[in-house]
Structure 1
């Protein structure tokens, strides 16, 4: 009796289950580590959730000023909430903003309350932070109402286009025009270097390098502009930004408050490509993903970046390994399948024989391993040469793979990638390329079935097997050791080094954070 095929690639379900079990086993110690620590950004995010905004005359947010004073007086290991709300209950200031200003001026001192004082501080903190979470809940319901009112993108994959001039006032008309040309998701990439700032800039920004600063006001302005576009076009236009770097939890909170729809949020990107301390990253990532889960935000992970530093053929299994780890970390934090925009990319050297077939194999493997996830498919960048005609053709092949394998989110490739910041005309040509391929192929993925023992299926099963081997090694040695050894993206990042380590504290026995409690209770 013939064996019944399982999916288009006939993947062995036992092997798939084993891979997921290994990912859980490798990831569990990292979750334990995250639960045992806090960071300055987690504590500042709690203050922001409670409504603290604004900045002093030097542009340093009041959340930073207040946290720094509390930390100097009583340490970080107990959390910021007890000392802050104890001061408010005692009448040191009438509200958080005034308390932060007094803290910045050095006119208030903080203590760790005990007994009834601690009980009153906990109650007040939960009430105020809970009100912030309710605002995030309201923004999620608002999104759902707008999707029902205006309709959603008429097809998948969603067309995802990057806009970022450095000037939010210039970004807005470019984003609106991109939506008119067919973009379903607008991503405003951040100014170079913002991920290394240990504070979130304040207000609307008019200058940035290769991107626009992620601020609450910039979020608000772009969201309002795309709401206008949604009404004009009769479909809800989604907004993306970046919850990564040293302020990941705070930016995630601001995104929830301003109704962003997607956020770049990868478990290891900041470690590997920004040299941010691994412990800091994993602690911040877990909190930020809990916020995303509550806000109904889709995350985009960054496995595509591994293939810009490592060979896309030899390192294909590291992408799949990271996807499985990202899936585990995301679901443990409360995210659902429809929120997992797991990343992968079209980065094999096009001069390599059978490169297109291997790209098909890798993309289809991701699609079949994560059938309910809106995978984020990234265009070629590493092998763009400046030949715009070749680049546009290569992007067309990328779009074709996206159609053949049923990707969920397709980032628009630019023929001028790595040459110049794209002009509006470049974006228009790139969008024409996407529209032609998707319209011409329609639901071609329904008809595409590679031969069971052919090149594509064999390559996919090979990558899955190598993924299991790597996960077994990670379980034996530990994920932190694997990161330190350069397993992912050839970047070696030890757990006791990297930026932001001084902002990490092991929780004391009496640690209290109302945001963490409320988010955990909701899972």
Structure 2
């Protein structure tokens, strides 16, 4: 995907370099922390890549049973795969599924092998997991062939539309209709609360609240339907879901196996807005982003959410700080610029004087800081009042900023936001709004140049300066603590720096699923993904 170059803001290159350097300084201790830990979800994702799927009669996945059995035996400190393939080599079961079934009833004695048994078990595990990595590679090649053969979206930004009925079989025709009306990306919103489930539901689902469950079968069904529509329309229609929550690594693996194209995958969203333990989140996130890098998946980050709980003017710098951190974490995991759908949003109170000019400044700042990233531009939601006429106008202004600043991925705003779940007719009107603005004003990126040292340039520089100051404060650890902290970013999250949410690293959901790696820890998925990070 190409991004059009924006009008320049005359930012000081030294300030930009300092911002990235500080983000790296803040982020590196977190990466080191992630490398020193594993989680139950990372280990389950590895088993999924090795081919283990399915669930028992109560819906508990076999990967959960097998990981829990190993954890209660030799533990996960050395990784789940070594004890599992040792058991297979010892003849405890003829295959991985049968082993998981026996283990679920306590019928397998796991151990940590030594010597030649250790070497052989690890070799067998690597061979099994490598098949899953090759399947992810094959899906990436399939996407590339389809785009080359069928064609791609004819313009940027890509038009991103949400579908979410709770029933995958209802989602499919709605998604196909949206694509026919001009949507380039279909996002299937997850059922409310799925991010807090420590297992991935199984099979095609027909009951979800305010969304549809993310399952491998639902991924497969929607991808097949959109492939059919892509051939019909002569352009590849992309599919999005959510690699977040307690099963982030597993959902990332399933997305790679079923050829999803984008995944919501923010560095701090689950911590701040779902109260998931920070260490669990950062460990899971690094693995999931390694999978996305290998699969050729574009990530979408969630900076827009900060502005739903904090003021969009006063806290604009926190969005920029989060974008810089997301960029660092993503690139460290192997993602490239074209895969960084960094988020930001049109959330300033429209009653404020110069609100539109400030929105322009913020959007231009993001566009200039990340010129090669397909930024994901989010529509107004916080200040939608139920007045559909006012809402439609606000969405038009949002679309206009997107046109003027060359955003890469534009989520379609709904005039019925905060009133009802949108009808198909609402989506059609919203798409008409986007089409009109893009056709009438899509070339404004070539013409729009804010005056030197005018309001827009001054505001953008102010936000960048405040972002640098905040990063410096985080790294220096001088905000409220006054003493050095080994994990300054975790301390800042605990202090409520982002989204006004205080989340200490010793609390939060999923902490009990975090495991410190022992010397000799082995995970063939991580090894294979890191070997292929520079494809």
For residue 275 of structure 2, what is the aligned residue in structure 1? 275
In the TM superposition, residue 522 of structure 1 has moved relative to its aligned partner by: 1.4
Counterpart CA distance in 1 for 2:395 and 2:77 is 49
Counterpart CA distance in 2 for 1:109 and 1:174 is 49
In the TM superposition, residue 328 of structure 1 has moved relative to its aligned partner by: 0.2
In the TM superposition, residue 106 of structure 1 has moved relative to its aligned partner by: 1.6
For residue 130 of structure 1, what is the aligned residue in structure 2? 130
Counterpart CA distance in 2 for 1:136 and 1:311 is 41
In the TM superposition, residue 136 of structure 1 has moved relative to its aligned partner by: 0.2
Counterpart CA distance in 1 for 2:348 and 2:218 is 36
Verify: 1:197 aligned to 2:197, yes or no. yes
Partner SS for 1:505: strand
Measured on the aligned residues, the alpha-carbon RMSD in Å equals 0.7
Aligned residues: 518
For residue 468 of structure 2, what is the aligned residue in structure 1? 468
Counterpart CA distance in 1 for 2:523 and 2:437 is 50
CA contact (8 A) 2:302 2:342 kept: yes
For residue 502 of structure 1, what is the aligned residue in structure 2? 512
Counterpart CA distance in 1 for 2:270 and 2:521 is 26
Counterpart CA distance in 2 for 1:522 and 1:140 is 13
Deviation beyond 6 Å, 4+ runs, structure 1: none
For residue 58 of structure 2, what is the aligned residue in structure 1? 58
Counterpart CA distance in 1 for 2:419 and 2:50 is 44
For residue 364 of structure 2, what is the aligned residue in structure 1? 364
Verify: 1:491 aligned to 2:501, yes or no. yes
In the TM superposition, residue 442 of structure 1 has moved relative to its aligned partner by: 2.5
Q: Deviations over 1:14-47 (max 9, x none)?
A: 0000000000010000000000000000000000
Verify: 1:220 aligned to 2:220, yes or no. yes
Q: Deviations over 1:457-513 (max 9, x none)?
A: 000000000000000011122000100000000000001000000000110002111
Verify: 1:183 aligned to 2:183, yes or no. yes
For residue 3 of structure 1, what is the aligned residue in structure 2? none
Counterpart CA distance in 2 for 1:354 and 1:52 is 56
Where do residues 60-79 of structure 1 align in structure 2 (5 Å cutoff)? 60-79=60-79
For residue 293 of structure 1, what is the aligned residue in structure 2? 293
Verify: 1:480 aligned to 2:490, yes or no. yes
Q: Deviations over 1:42-97 (max 9, x none)?
A: 00000000000000000000000000001001112111011001011111111111
CA contact (8 A) 1:8 1:452 kept: no
Counterpart CA distance in 2 for 1:7 and 1:393 is 25
Partner SS for 1:419: coil
Unaligned segments of structure 2, at least 5 residues: 1-5, 478-487
Counterpart CA distance in 1 for 2:400 and 2:96 is 53
Counterpart CA distance in 2 for 1:505 and 1:230 is 43
In the TM superposition, residue 7 of structure 1 has moved relative to its aligned partner by: 5.9
For residue 112 of structure 2, what is the aligned residue in structure 1? 112
Counterpart CA distance in 2 for 1:419 and 1:440 is 29
**CA separation of 1:437 and 1:7: change in aligned 2, threshold 3 A:** closer
Where do residues 6-405 of structure 1 align in structure 2 (5 Å cutoff)? 8-405=8-405
Counterpart CA distance in 1 for 2:335 and 2:458 is 32
CA contact (8 A) 2:7 2:405 kept: no
For residue 484 of structure 2, what is the aligned residue in structure 1? none
Partner SS for 1:344: strand
Q: Deviations over 1:151-207 (max 9, x none)?
A: 000000000000010000000000000000000000000000000000000000000
Counterpart CA distance in 2 for 1:431 and 1:74 is 55
Q: Deviations over 1:202-235 (max 9, x none)?
A: 0000000000000000000000000000000000
In the TM superposition, residue 107 of structure 1 has moved relative to its aligned partner by: 1.0
Partner SS for 1:105: coil
Partner SS for 2:34: helix
Counterpart CA distance in 2 for 1:71 and 1:508 is 13
Partner SS for 1:263: strand
TM-score scaled to structure 1, two decimals?
0.99
Counterpart CA distance in 2 for 1:443 and 1:293 is 32
Partner SS for 1:381: coil
